[in-house]
Chain A
Amino acid sequence: MLQVSGLAAAYGDSQVLFGIDLTIARGEVVALLGRNGMGKTTTIRTIMGLTRAVGGSAEFAGTPILGRPPEAVARLGIGLVPEGRQVFPTLTVRENLVATAANRLGRSNPWTLERVCALFARLGERFSQPAGTLSGGEQQMLAIGRALMTNPDLLILDEATEGLAPVIRAEIWRCIEALKAEGQSILIVDKNLKVLRRLADRHYAIEKGRTVWTGTGADLDREAEVVHRYVGV
């Protein structure tokens, strides 16, 4: 579904990605691993058209996406849950979900407010509250809900559990697992290897802007030094 090869990207004059290779098949959950500053978020931003690509190629569902504006990439069916949640603080929970909702790919069973609230019960309780007044965990749930309301083929989660209380984290992981069970394709960046090992079908390790390792959760268990070297745990 998503095929990225040799992706290179730069912020102004300083190049940060040198060769990212990545593929995601339909229904697959793929994790991007790597220490801070190695280019995980930049990879996602470049795929989304938020950072300028300077080389390589990326295709989504057979369509080249590099050089396209972010809204065009999103319209092809990629739902981004950005790092740091980034809900619209003065809009209510409902407005955050409804404002950008769409079913561009014509899904037969599209996401609705009811379905999002069934997934995240807490959001239903806060429906007409401004999003800025929610707790961090609730805002994260809202950000995921907002992305789901665009009915994406591929959901991208950037640090979805960062800085949250363990209880809330567990709740979000449960929801991501439920999404996986429904066959949702997911690209996920997170530091929680313990959960990712079990959840993700495949892993990519990124170091200094390059893909340096790829394998399954079982491979990660076998090759402990990979984990140590690229993830630093």
Chain B
Amino acid sequence: MPPETGARSKLAVAALMVLLAALPFAADALGFPATTPLVTRMLIYAIAAASLNLVLGFGGMISFGHAAFYGIGGYAVGILFQHARLSEPLFGMMLGTDQFLLAVPAAMVLGGVAALAIGALALRTTGVQFIMITLAFAQMLYFLFVSLKYYGGDDGLIVRRRNVLFGLDMRDDKTFYFVVLVLTAAFFALVWRIAGSRFGMVLGAIRQNERRVAAIGIGVYRYKLAAFAIAGLGAGLAGGLWANYARFVSPDMMHWTKSGELMVMVILGGAGTLFGPLFGAAGLIALETVLSAWTERWQLFLGPILLLIILFFRGGLSGLVALLSGRLR
């Protein structure tokens, strides 16, 4: 799918950025300070969903284990923090760290490396087998972390303080929001570049017909694996940010329901579109927040709403946005 590059789209992106930058101040002024952490959550999930969208939407690989890389990113930050706090060497040699610029890149690298390893095996299959293998790997990691009592096992791991970034007061929700916003913008810019690159075109071609691409002389496996690893990297980033946001990580971050949640975000927002994952993450979290404040059985209402959106708006929320902006024209 061609990335949105028209003048109108540029204007819309600029408007969105201004809106997001002004949001914490507006939230404070209007007396809804809780909006800032809520939107922070949306942005973190948007990164995770956008990374899944690279494989699911652009590459057509239905990965049902994406939460594994998200969880690995979270645990990277959590474990490094614990070792730093207790001054205990990790693997007998490395020290932990509470530095944002070390811990979060570590989360990304570990997410990417894990994706490379899992992808190298899983991508030898396609279709239902691929779905099941990615699911199986994620569940294996889930149970691995449940059994790691030293890191809290089932109960998870508390990250006492957010990572340190320069002299910023990361405890302040607004400051942390802007850190997340900058990283979200950077990740979406990366996805945009990828989608418009030759690599992105080949990925799109692979989604449409793998054998055809191979018959033209392209090693399909390598392209898919590269996309899968980049997606793992993005999920690791989101996980690392989540560990900082929630100051808590647990095996639930890797559970298959989390993978499912990310898939819902991608599909709800519009798979294979640049901003779909952002709309999807924001939409799902907003619905959850509103519905769960209203009733305990909120999922009963969430289901039909998702169904309606997916049935009636081709391309999910992105389709809806395109439809509305078309009307305005």
Report whether B217 and A82 are in contact in the complex, using a CB–CB cutoff of 8 Å.
Answer: no
Q: How many residues of A contact B (CB 8 A)?
A: 26
Interface string of B1-15 (1 = CB under 8 A from A): 110000000000000
Task: Identify the stretch in B19-27, B104-112, B115-123, B197-205 within 8 Å (CB) of chain A at 4 or more residues.
Answer: B197-205
Contact A99 B214 (CB under 8 A): no
Question: Interface size on B (CB < 8 Å)?
Answer: 19
Are A100 and B205 CB-contacts (below 8 A) given A71-B219, A71-B220, A92-B2? yes
Interface residues of A in 59-112 (CB under 8 A from B): 69-71, 74-75, 79-80, 82, 86, 88-92, 95-96, 98-100, 102, 104
CB A34 to nearest CB in B, in angstroms, measures: 22
Cβ-based interface call for B208 (8 A): yes
Interface residues of B in 181-214 (CB under 8 A from A): 198, 201-202, 204-205, 208-209, 211-214
Name the B residues within 8 Å of A98 (CB-CB).
198, 201
**Given contacts A88-B209, A92-B2, A95-B2, is CB(A150)–CB(B204) below 8 Å?**
no
B144, CB-defined interface residue at 8 Å: no
Q: Contact between B217 and A150 (Cβ–Cβ < 8 Å)?
A: yes
Of A69, A91, A96, A150, which one neighbours B214 at CB under 8 angstroms? A69
Q: How far is the CA of A86 from the CA of B213 in the complex (A)?
A: 10
Residues of A within 8 A of B198 (CB): 98-99
**C-alpha spacing A91/B218, complex, angstroms:** 16
User: Do residues A90 and B204 form an inter-chain contact, with CB atoms below 8 A?
Assistant: yes
- B216 part of interface (Cβ distance < 8 Å): yes
Distance (Å) between the CB of B218 and the closest chain A CB? Answer: 6
A150/B216 in contact, CB under 8 A:
yes
| Whole-angstrom CA separation of A90 from B60 in the bound complex | 13
A-B contact count (CB 8 A): 64
Report if A147 contacts B (CB, 8 A): yes
Contact of B211 among A70, A102, A104 (CB under 8 A): A70
Interface membership of B215, Cβ < 8 A: yes
Partner of B204, one of A75, A79, A91, A147: A91
Chain A residues contacting B219 (CB-CB under 8 Å) are 71
CA distance A82 to B214 in the complex (A): 12
Interchain CB contact (< 8 A) of B216 among A69, A92, A147: A147
Are B214 and A71 neighbours in the complex by a CB distance under 8 Å? yes
Residue from the list A48, A91, A102, A104 in contact with B201, Cβ < 8 A: A91
- Cβ of A191 within 8 Å of any chain B Cβ, yes or no, is no
A86, closest chain B residue (CB): B212
Closest Cβ of chain A to B327, distance in Å, is 23
Residues from chain A with a CB closer than 8 A to the CB of B212 are: 82, 86, 88
8 nearest CB pairs, A to B: A74-B217, A99-B201, A70-B214, A100-B216, A88-B205, A71-B214, A95-B201, A75-B217
**B binding-site residues for A, Cβ under 8 Å:** 1-2, 198, 201-202, 204-205, 208-209, 211-220
| A86-B209, A98-B201, A150-B216 known, 15 other contacts, Cβ within 8 Å | A71-B215, A71-B220, A74-B217, A75-B217, A80-B215, A82-B215, A88-B208, A88-B212, A90-B1, A91-B201, A92-B2, A98-B198, A99-B202, A100-B205, A100-B213
Write the residues of chain A forming the contact surface with B, with a CB cutoff of 8 angstroms.
Answer: 48, 50, 69-71, 74-75, 79-80, 82, 86, 88-92, 95-96, 98-100, 102, 104, 146-147, 150
11 contacts between A and B (CB under 8 A): A50-B215, A71-B214, A71-B217, A71-B220, A74-B217, A79-B216, A88-B208, A92-B2, A98-B198, A99-B198, A99-B202
